[in-house]
C-alpha cells in the first residue's frame, strides 16, 4: 500500500499510522479505553509465555524477555501515549491489536538494543485480532468490575447497613402508588435499599463467571489456524497467573469470536444495578423534599447552594447525578445489545463500541456510587418528628380495623375521618362500629410493622 511516514519519536508503525489518518473520528475524547490497552499488555505477555512453552524454537528466551519487558510497561500505563487510536475504527479492533504489536515490538527492540522482534511474527505469534480483541474485552470487563465497581458497591451497602442499625425503632407511614399506605419502620425501608444492592452484587458476580472464558486460540475464524493445539489452554493459564483471576479457554472458539452474549449478560447485571440505584436515589430525594412543602422525612447533607437566584435553597444534587448515570448505563445497554446482535458469520465487527460502552458503565457506576455514598448516604438522618406526625395522621392505619369491623366499614371510617377532619378513632366511634374501650384494645398501629 506504499510508504507511511511515522514521527521518529513514536513507537507505533505503519498500520497504526494508517488508522490514525483514516479514522479521525472523536480523536481526543473517544480514545480506545486504557483498560483495553492494559488488557492487551497482559494477553500479549501471556501469549509470549505460552509460545515459549510450545514453540521455543521460534519464541526464544531472548525474544520472550524483550516482549515481557515491553508488555510490563504497557500494563503499568507507561506507554499509553503510544496508543492514539479511536474507538470508531475497524469493528474487529484489528488496528488496536496491531498498535499493540507495533509498540511492543519497537519498545522490545529498544530495550534489547537490536532489531529482535517483528510485530506480526513475534508479538502476534499464534494470534489474530479476531481472538485477541474479544479476549481483551473479557479481561478488562472482569478486572474493572472486580477492582473498581464491587468495592464501591460494597461501601454503599455498608453505609445502608449502618443507617439501618443506627435507627431501628422509628415508625413512619409507608407509601404505595405515591399514596399513604400501612406503617413501616424506617430501618425496614432502608433494608429494602440495602438488599436490592446485595442482589445486584450477586447477579454481577455470577455474570463474571461467564467473562472468564477467553477466545484466544481461535485465531482468524475459530479454527485455530497458525496456533499450536494447546495454545488456548496454556495462554488462559498464563493470563490467570498474571491477573490473579481464573480464566479459561472457551470450549467453542466459533462462539467466542462471533458472539458477545457474555458481555450482554454482564452488562444486564450492571443495568439491574443502575435501575436499583435510580429507584433508591429517587426515594431519597422524595423523602428529603421540602423543607416545608414536601415530605421532609429525612435530612441529607447540604453540600452546595442549589440556586443562583433563590438564597438558601439546597438541592438533592447527588441523587440527580446518580439518576443521570443510571440513564447513561441503560442507554449504553441498548448500544451493547445492538452491537452484539449485529455480528455476521464468523466475527462480530462492533467490538470496540461494545466494550467502550461497557467500560464506561463500570466507571460511571463506580464513581457515582462512591460520590453518592460519601456526599449523601453517609450523612442521611431521619426527621423523627415529621415521620411520627405522618404516621399518626395516616388514614391507612384503618387497615388494622378491617379484621374487627370489616373492609367496607373500615373504608367508611377512613372516608369520614378524611372528609370531616377526624382521627380514625373519632370516626370509628361516631359511626358506631366500635366503642372506645374496644377500639383502644384492637387498634395498636405499632403492631402493624
Q: Which CATH number do you get for residue 157?
A: 1.20.200.10
Q: Residue 284 and residue 124: Cα distance in Å, rounded?
A: 52
Question: Are residue 97 and residue 169 in the same domain, yes or no?
Answer: no
372 C-beta neighbours (distance < 10 Å), count: 23
In the predicted model, residues of the chain with pLDDT beneath 50 are none
Domain assignment of residue 413, yes or no = yes
Cβ neighbours around 266 below 10 Å, total: 26
Residues 62 and 168 in one domain: no
In this structure, the answer to whether residues 31 and 96 fall within a common structural domain is yes
Q: What grid cell was written down for 224?
A: 485455530
How far apart are the C-alpha atoms of 342 and 348, rounded to whole Å? 7
The answer to whether the predicted template modeling score (pTM) of the entire model surpasses 0.85 is: yes
Would residue 229 count as lying in a domain? no
Q: Is residue 92 one of the residues assigned to a domain?
A: yes
Angle, helices 14-22 vs 94-112, to 10°: value is 140
Residue 199 lies in a domain: yes
* DSSP-assigned letter for residue 396: G
Euclidean distance between CA atoms 426 and 414, whole angstroms: 10
Residues 86 and 57 placed together within one structural domain of the fold: yes
Give the separation between CA 12 and CA 214, rounded to whole angstroms: 26
pLDDT value for 445: 86
Residues labelled as active-site residues:
177, 307
Q: Residue 270 to residues 287, 338, 364, 393: CA-CA distances in angstroms?
A: 26, 17, 11, 40
Together in a domain, 206 and 337: yes
The answer to whether the Cα torsion of 395, 399, 402, 407 is positive or negative is positive
Residues 368 and 419 grouped into a single domain: no
Domain termination site, one of 125, 145, 163: 125
Beta pairing partners, 179: 176
Q: Is 67 helix (H, G, I), strand (E, B) or coil?
A: helix
Angle at CA 154, nearest 5°, toward 152 and 155? 65
Rounded Cα gap, residues 236 and 242, in angstroms: 10
Q: CA 211 to CA 190: how far, in whole Å?
A: 32
Q: Give residue 140's domain range.
A: 134-215+252-385
Q: Is residue 78 part of a domain?
A: yes
User: What would the DSSP string read from start to end of 220-271?
Assistant: TTSS-TTS-TTHHHHHHHHHHHHHSS--EE-S-HHHHHH--HHHHHHHHHHH
Q: Report if residue 52 sits inside a domain.
A: yes
Going by DSSP bridges, is the β-strand pair 298-299/381-382 parallel, antiparallel, or unpaired? antiparallel
pLDDT tens for each residue of 167-208 = 999 999 999 999 999 999 999 999 999 999 999 999 999 999
Among 125, 143, 174, residue at a domain's last position: 125
Q: 191 and 61 share a domain? A: no
How far is Cα 395 from Cα 423, in angstroms, rounded to an integer?
8
Q: 294 and 368 in one domain?
A: yes
Confirm if 295 and 289 have CB atoms less than 8 A apart: yes
Distance CA 69, CA 67 (A): 5
Specify whether the CB–CB gap between 145 and 139 falls below 8 A. no
| Cβ neighbourhood burial of 397 (10 Å; 0-12, 13-18, 19+) | buried
Number of domains in the chain: 3
Contact indicator for 162, 248 with CB cutoff of 8 Å:
no
Pairing of β 171-176 and β 179-185:
antiparallel
Residues 399 and 378 in one domain: no
Number of C-beta neighbours around residue 296 at 10 A: 17
| Residue 425 and residue 439 in contact, taking contact as beta carbons nearer than 8 Å | yes
- Domain ends where: 68, 93, 125? 125
329 and 407 co-located in one domain: no
User: Based on the number of CB atoms within 10 Å of its own CB, is 31 exposed (0-12), middle (13-18) or buried (19 or more)?
Assistant: middle
- What are the C-alpha distances in Å from 347 to residues 94, 215, 220? 12, 12, 9
Of all helices (H) and strands (E), which one includes residue 213?
strand 213-214
Whether residues 291 and 352 share a domain: the answer is: yes
Rg (CA), the chain: 30
Q: Is residue 361 part of a domain?
A: yes
Paired sense of beta strands 213-214 and 298-299, if any: unpaired
State whether 370 and 441 are in the same domain. no
Q: Residue 53 and residue 82: Cα distance in Å, rounded?
A: 29
Predicted confidence at residue 86, as pLDDT, reads 98
Residue 6 covered by a domain: no
What does the alpha-carbon distance between residue 37 and residue 441 come to, in Å, rounded to a whole number?
A: 70
Give the DSSP per-residue string, 117-185.
--IIIIITTT--HHHHHHHHHHHHHHHHIIIIIHHHHHHHHHHHHHHHHH--S-EEEEEETTEEEEEEE
Integer Cα distance of 260 and 203 in angstroms: 18
Q: Identify the CATH number of the domain in which residue 400 sits.
A: 1.10.40.30
Amino acid at each position: 500500500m506504499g510508504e507511511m511516514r511515522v514521527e521518529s519519536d513514536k513507537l507505533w508503525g505503519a498500520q497504526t499510522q494508517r488508522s490514525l489518518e483514516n479514522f479521525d473520528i472523536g480523536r481526543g475524547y473517544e480514545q480506545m479505553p486504557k483498560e483495553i490497552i492494559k488488557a492487551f499488555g497482559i494477553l500479549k505477555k501471556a501469549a509470549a509465555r505460552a509460545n515459549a512453552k510450545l514453540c521455543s524454537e521460534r519464541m526464544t528466551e531472548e525474544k520472550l524477555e524483550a516482549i515481557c519487558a515491553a508488555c510490563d510497561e504497557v500494563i503499568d500505563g507507561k506507554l499509553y501515549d503510544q496508543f492514539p487510536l479511536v474507538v470508531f475504527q475497524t469493528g474487529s479492533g484489528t488496528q488496536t491489536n496491531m498498535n499493540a504489536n507495533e509498540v511492543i515490538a519497537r519498545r522490545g527492540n529498544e530495550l534489547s538494543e537490536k532489531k529482535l522482534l517483528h510485530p506480526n511474527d513475534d508479538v502476534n505469534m499464534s494470534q489474530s485480532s479476531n481472538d485477541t480483541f474479544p479476549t481483551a474485552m473479557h479481561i478488562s470487563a472482569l478486572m474493572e468490575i472486580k477492582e473498581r465497581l464491587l468495592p464501591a458497591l460494597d461501601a454503599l451497602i455498608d453505609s445502608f447497613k449502618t443507617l439501618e442499625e443506627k435507627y431501628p425503632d422509628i415508625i413512619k407511614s409507608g407509601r404505595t402508588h405515591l399514596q399513604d399506605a400501612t406503617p413501616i419502620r424506617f430501618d425496614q425501608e432502608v433494608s429494602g435499599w440495602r438488599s436490592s444492592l446485595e442482589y445486584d452484587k450477586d447477579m454481577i458476580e455470577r455474570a463474571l463467571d461467564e467473562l472468564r472464558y477467553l477466545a484466544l486460540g481461535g485465531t482468524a475464524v475459530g479454527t485455530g489456524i497458525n496456533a499450536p493445539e494447546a495454545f488456548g489452554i496454556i495462554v488462559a493459564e498464563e493470563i490467570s497467573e498474571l491477573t490473579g483471576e481464573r480464566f479459561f479457554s472457551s470450549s467453542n472458539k466459533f462462539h467466542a469470536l462471533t458472539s458477545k452474549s457474555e458481555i450482554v449478560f454482564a452488562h444486564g447485571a450492571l443495568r439491574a444495578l443502575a435501575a436499583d440505584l435510580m429507584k433508591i436515589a429517587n426515594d431519597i430525594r422524595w423523602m428529603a423534599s421540602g423543607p416545608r412543602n414536601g415530605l421532609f422525612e429525612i435530612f441529607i447533607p447540604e453540600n452546595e447552594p442549589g440556586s443562583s437566584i433563590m438564597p438558601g435553597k439546597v438541592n438533592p444534587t447527588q441523587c440527580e447525578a446518580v439518576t443521570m448515570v443510571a440513564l447513561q448505563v441503560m442507554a449504553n445497554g441498548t448500544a451493547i445489545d445492538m452491537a452484539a446482535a449485529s455480528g455476521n458469520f464468523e466475527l462480530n465487527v462492533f467490538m470496540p463500541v461494545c466494550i467502550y460502552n461497557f467500560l464506561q458503565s463500570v466507571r460511571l457506576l463506580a464513581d457515582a456510587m462512591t460520590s453518592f455514598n460519601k456526599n449523601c448516604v453517609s450523612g442521611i438522618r431521619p426527621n423523627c418528628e415529621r415521620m411520627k406526625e405522618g404516621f399518626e395522621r395516616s388514614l391507612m392505619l384503618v387497615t388494622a380495623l378491617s379484621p374487627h369491623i370489616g373492609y367496607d366499614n373500615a373504608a367508611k371510617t377512613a372516608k369520614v375521618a378524611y372528609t370531616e377532619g377526624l382521627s380514625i378513632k373519632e370516626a370509628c366511634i361516631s359511626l358506631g362500629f366500635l366503642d372506645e374501650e374496644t377500639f383502644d384494645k384492637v387498634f395498636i398501629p405499632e403492631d402493624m410493622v
